[in-house]
Structure formats: structure tokens, C-alpha cells
Structure 1
Amino acid sequence: MTRHPTDHPQFYLTAPAPCPYLEGRQERKVFTHLIGQHAPALNDVLTHGGFRRSQNIAYRPACEECRACVSVRVCVGDFRWSSSLKRQWKLGQEIIGARLPAAPSAEQYDLFRTYLETRHEDGGMTEMSVLDYAMMIEDTHVETMVIEYRRRGPDSFITGMGEGPLLGVALTDQLADGLSMVYSFYDPAFSGFSLGTYMILDHIMRARQMGLPYVYLGYWVDGSPKMAYKSRFKPQEHLGPNGWSQVG
């Protein structure tokens, strides 16, 4: 069995492939393995350096002629509520998110498939089997969790759990300085307000309650409509050549 050192990680570069965000461009990624007892600390350091996690792999763009992908984190302590975000938060009070261990379920997978087929039918994740999904959730050596969102019930204030069908799921890593939203999905048929926006707001509130200064949202891609929503959450910091700097 191949073993990878965890105290001195080795980095690898992928071959060029079509960019999923900007048409006509090629992407490359640099990646390393997140395994063993040092994985949580390494995940912290690499996230601060603009890496993202997928299962037991940490990766970041390494494109030769493009720097459109920018790592984004929301500044929790100074977060500003716009009128539209206040409205979304108020409408979402009928929903509650329950923090659970990182374990997959058939109900999660069914919602995951519905979300992909409705919102990302041309994406690479549409080929994921139930086993692939299970690996995405539980194949990790870092501190992570699943947050399941459902409607509030009469006992939710006691149990912290919602009732009824599953409406949304967030796979989230807990870092030393924040929460990193690895992947999230929700019921596209749910009407009334944006569940995607609500889940980000919920993470901001969770981070505040935990005394964590940041919520990491992954990459904002200049010129990609898919990523435009991330600019709503301000102030935020972007990672540039000289480190993190606040924008907005």
C-alpha cells in the first residue's frame, strides 16, 4: 500500500483540462494528500494558503496564464447585513440546521442527485454514484461535520433537530480560525427564499457563536456567473500575492 508522509507533504501537478468556470480556458491544479494525524493542522495551513479540500486531497488552481480564481473568506465579526440578506434570514427562521457527524445517508444522496440534475446537469459530479457520495462525506482525516437543514418542529428548541423532508446539506470543515464550506446542496423545488443564501448566513452565525473570525467560501471567479453570489457577503477578504486583504 502506498504511504504518504504527513509531516513533509508532497505536492503534485495535474495535466491541463478544460476549465469548468471560464469557457475556452484550461485549468491545472496543484494538490497533496491530507492523511494521518497531522492532517487537521495541514488542512488549516493549506486553507490559509488558498487550498480547498476534496475527500483526503487538498488542491488549489495552478493555471499558467490565468489568475481568475480568488480564495474568499467572510469577516464574521464585521459582517454587514444588507436589507436583502436580513429579509432572507428572517424568512429562513422556519428552517433549522442540525450539526451531525460526517456520515452519509440515502436521504442525503437522493437530495444530492436532485440538486445536481436540476442545477448542474452538465457538471462533472453528475456521474457520482452512491459510493462516490459516501466517500465525499466520510473519507477524511480532518475535523468535519454535516449540517442537515429541515423545517422547525414543535420540539426543535429542545432537540436542535428539524422535522420532515431534508431540505439542504452542508459539508463543513472546522478550522482553527473559521468554518470552511466544502460543499453544499439543497432542494431546488423549495420556494419562498434562497436556501443557498440562508445556509451561508447560518454558517456566519455559527462561526460568530463559536468565536471564529472567518467563513471560507472557496473560490470567487471573476467573469463566472456561477460564483457571483459570493460577493454578497461583506466584508470579505481575498487572497492575493501579498496575502489576505479586505475588500468590500
Structure 2
Amino acid sequence: MDQILGFKVWDHEEKCPYLAGRRARLPLYYPLTVMSGADLDLALSQGARRAGVYLYRVSCRACRACEPIRLDVRQFEPRRRHRRVLAKGDAQLTTVIGTAVADEERAAIYNLHKEGRGLSDEEHSPISADQYREFLVETCCETVEFGYFRNDRLVASAIADVGENSLSAVYCSYDPAESDLSLGTYSVLKQWEFCRATDRRYLYLGFYIAESPHMNYKASFLPHQRRIAGEWMDFPES
């Protein structure tokens, strides 16, 4: 048992969810209790991520493509293109931060997002509201939703886990019909604003994967840090 992550309940090689043709090892851990903010901070600093009530950490034997990535909230400053995204989004969207919700509307947006970005495959059919709840809303820590509304209609939902000194961006899904608003980037920036307003040090963005166009965009947020060979390394302004 890991003192922070809990009991290991799954540890088998499986199809990689990020890179085609690869095999992955993503051990699942079940925390014994609801995690405190401090424990979540520690787990995140060790490269852990959440999926439902479980935590996982990449432990692939022959691949090191997945690099946990985070922003130091005090050091990051939006670039000009980020400021444009913020300005456009702030003019057209209302952001509501509250309890994470699972319903048909959010499941539909999730499915549209997966289909629109080419993330669907033959093995995974559209998910139901119950499956959305199991994957994102059922949790082992404090979890919130950043809901983004355009003309009073929900167009994007971002699930985030709240630590004592950090925020972890778990998953953001949006209606591809609203892609003119760069909602994925906008959500990262709004979560950064939240961290800054609440005096949190780190914003965790999941994994950076150089070979994945769906994951390598995260490197555009500079400066940032990536966890490589167990150590957080600085990637300054380029």
C-alpha cells in the first residue's frame, strides 16, 4: 500500500490511451479516505492523476512519453495570444465555478468533444450521464466544475481537483461548434486566474506528450515545469 495513494487495485499492462500502437501500465490506487488538500498536493507532486474515485500514476516499462506538467502560478504570465483568448472569452462567456455535476447535457458535450477532436474509437461508444459521473464527478478529493456559458447555454465543462496549494485540471470538454473561442486554452487560463486569486502555487495540466497533438499544446504555456525521471524540471520562456 502507498501511504498517500492508498491500496493498489489494478496493475496490468493495457492498450495505451494516449498513443496508438503502444502498451501502457497505469496502476490504479484506491485512497482509504477522502484525501485532504495537503495529501492531494503531495500526490500531484509525485505525478499522480485522478480517474473517478481512483488515483493512477504512469509506470510504463519501456516508454517515458508521458511527462506530468504544471504551471508555477506566480511565474506564469499569459502571452499575447493567451491575452487575446482571455479577452474574447471574457466578452462572450460567463464562468460559473461550483459543484461538479453529471447530467445528460454534460455527457452530450463530452461526446461531441471526443467526436469533434477525433478522440473516439470503435472500442468506446458515447458515454451516458452515469458513466460521465463515474469517470469525472465521483471523486476521492475536493472536486469542482468550471462551467462556461455562452448566451446562457453551457458550451464547456472543466472538472478540476482542489488541493490546499494547487489545482489539478482533470478534464475539459467543449462543444466543437464553439471552437472559435479556443475553449481548452481559455479554461486553462481561467483556472490559472482562480489559482492566483486563491493564492495557490501550482496548476497541474495532466501530461505533456510530445508525439500527441492533443497533449503537446500544453508546452505553449511558458514557463512551466515537467516531471522527468522523478524530478520537476524548469522549462523557461523560449
Give me the TM-score of the superposition, normalised by structure 2. Answer: 0.89
Displacement of 1:224: 1.7
CA contact (8 A) 2:224 2:235 kept: yes
Distance 1:118 1:30 in 2: 29
Letter in 1 for 2:7: Q
Q: Which residue of 2 aligns with 1:175?
A: 163
Within 5 Å, give how 1:65-214 maps onto structure 2.
Answer: 65-93=62-90, 94-119=92-117, 120-122=119-121, 126-151=125-150, 163-214=151-202
Q: Which runs of 5+ in 1 are unaligned?
A: 152-162
CA contact (8 A) 1:14 1:30 kept: yes
Letter in 2 for 1:233: F
Pair member with larger Rg: 1
Within 5 Å, give how 1:219-238 maps onto structure 2.
Answer: 219-238=207-226
Deviates more, 1:188-197 or 1:7-16: 7-16
Select 1:64's aligned residue among 61, 67, 79.
Answer: 61
Displacement of 1:184: 0.9
Q: Which residue of 2 aligns with 1:156?
A: none
What is the CA deviation profile of residues 44-64 of structure 1, one whole-angstrom value per residue up to 9, with x for unaligned ones? 322110010011110011111
What is the CA deviation profile of residues 110-156 of structure 1, one whole-angstrom value per residue up to 9, with x for unaligned ones? 212222222222286544222111223432131111111013xxxxx
What is the CA deviation profile of residues 12-39 of structure 1, one whole-angstrom value per residue up to 9, with x for unaligned ones? 5532222233333211112211342446
Is residue 14 of structure 2 the alignment partner of residue 17 of structure 1? yes
Structure 1 residues 147 and 172: alpha-carbon distance in aligned structure 2, compared to 1, 3 A threshold: same
What is the CA deviation profile of residues 61-81 of structure 1, one whole-angstrom value per residue up to 9, with x for unaligned ones? 111111111000011111122
Q: Which runs of 5+ in 2 are unaligned?
A: none
For these two proteins, the number of residue pairs brought into alignment is: 234
Give me the TM-score of the superposition, normalised by structure 1. Answer: 0.85
Alignment identity in percent? 29
Distance 2:205 2:155 in 1: 20
CA contact (8 A) 2:99 2:144 kept: yes
